[in-house]
Structure 1
Amino acid sequence: MELPKEEYIYVEENGCKTTYCTMRQKALHTIGLNSGHTSRRLYTRHGKKYYKPYRNYFCGNDKDLDKLVEAGYMERSLEIAHGEKNYTYWFNRTGLDWLGAQIGIIIRDEEN
């Protein structure tokens, strides 16, 4: 499985422009790599890029992330609140290694 190269897809229909998030954007968002905290947590040592996530979760129902769960890269837990069914997704160690290989960095565990 490969991540798409772009984070967003832009579609124009009937004069309206719609933006869709790709699996890449959702994966990067899960570990906080596309947020304002990136500069503190992305660093280079001995010519290799490293990233230490400040979080590792995504809440909601998402078909793209369900594919990553099926592939063995993410885990999820079911939560029911006010009659609504939602999941919390997170990358396991295999998934962090896979994501790092996809984007060319080494991703450390968020607690270490």
Structure 2
Amino acid sequence: MELPKEEYTYVEENGSRITYCTMRQKALHTIGLNSCHVGRRLYTRHGKKYYKPYRNYFCGRDKDLDKLVEAGYMECLTEIKHGEKTCTYWFNRIGLDWMSKQLGIHIYDEEN
């Protein structure tokens, strides 16, 4: 399984441009790699890039993230909140290693 190269896809419908998030954007968002905290958490040492996530979770239901759970890269906790089924997703160590290879960045565990 590979992450798409784009974070977003754009579709024209009825004269409107609609933006959809790809699996890449959702995975990056899960560990906070596409936010304002990147500057102080992403660094280069001896020519290699490293990233220490400040979070590792995504709340809601998502078909793309369900595929990552099925592949063994993420875990999911399903709960019923306000009568609606919701999930909290997070990357396990296998998933963080997979993302590291996909992005060419060593990703630490957020707890280490």
- TM-score, normalised relative to structure 1: 0.99
Amino acid at match of 1:59: C
Aligned residues between the structures:
112
Instruction: Give unmatched runs, 5+ long, in structure 1.
Output: none
- How do 1:39-58 residues align onto structure 2 when only pairs under 5 Å count? 39-58=39-58
**2: distance between equivalents of 1:64 and 1:82?**
24
* Structure-2 separation of matches of 1:82 and 1:23: 27
Matches of 1:50 and 1:78 in 2, distance apart?
31
Counterpart residue identity of residue 97, structure 2: D
Q: Which residue pairs with 1:18 in the alignment?
A: 18
C-alpha distance in 1 between matches for 2:57 and 2:79? 13
Match of 1:67 in 2: 67
Match of 1:69, SS state, is helix
Aligned residue type for 1:57: Y
Mapping for residues 69-108 of structure 1, pairs under 5 Å: 69-108=69-108
**Aligned residues: percent identity?**
81
Q: Which amino acid aligns with 1:55?
A: R
User: Structure 2 stretches of 5 or more lacking a match?
Assistant: none
Which portions of structure 1, spanning 4 or more consecutive aligned residues, are displaced by more than 2 angstroms? none
SS in 1 for 2:32: coil
Q: Is 1:30 aligned to residue 30 of structure 2?
A: yes
Q: Output the TM-score relative to the length of structure 2.
A: 0.99
